[in-house]
Structure 1
Amino acid sequence: MITPKHIIATAVFGLFATTASAAESYSVKALLMQALSAPDGKARGIVEGKEANAIHTATGASDPVRAEVSTLKRFKQEECSRLAVKLIQPNTPTKSGAKTDFALNYELNLCQNGMPPTEGMDLGEVSKIVGGKHD
């Protein structure tokens, strides 16, 4: 027999399940790969792991680190793009005691295989550098 208590418990469980999926945690690498695969070239989420730990240590703030990844350019080479990454740490204490958002922005060229695209690279020069033959 379904009682009002069961209905309330089911509703509360459903609410928690929805809330948990809305704030999923990822590594920065997973978000980069999501952006490369996404039709709109974007991914966002809460960052966990070594990246988040490093930011928490550096800023002294404990709020979750949010990440926003967007595609700036798609290369001719399949599954390769230039990505913009923004990591945001809310409520970061400043020297004056106030709190502000700390943001770390960077860009990188990346392919689904984890390597940079070869488009625009001088592969002869790359092989010299990798092979240890510097001019």
Structure 2
Amino acid sequence: MRIDRLDHIVLTVADMNTTIAFYSRVLGMQEITFGDQRKALVFGQQKINLHSAGRPIAPHAASPTPGSADLCFIVAGGIQEVLAHLQTCGVALETGPVPRTGATGPIISVYFRDPDGNLLEMATYDHSGHGS
């Protein structure tokens, strides 16, 4: 067996509409409805399935809890563009820009939180050779 890629993740959320609005407005993800009126956010070739806290869909994580995720998204363009967009959206930074190491090399990252307190990392691959 050889794993090819990650298809989707699941976030447990306190308020479905608040989460959908945030990820749509700030991250440009698209809301979809699938299956038995389930909700998800799509971007690129991936999606984030959303489960309401207290009503997770079986099977589910052992402790489905809002605010327990730490996600890193790679964005096209430079980190200054990311910073400007977040500022326009009124999103408070947790930290950054800071050098980090992504799956395939050096990245520059900024961190902030979604409405549930999940830590979100927006990163760009550092093509200058100065990341760590």
User: Per the shorter chain, which TM-score range?
Assistant: under 0.3
Larger radius of gyration: 1
- The answer to which structure, 1 or 2, has the higher relative contact order (CA under 8 A, 6+ apart) is 2
TM-score, normalised to structure 2's length? 0.21
Which protein is richer in strand relative to its size? 2
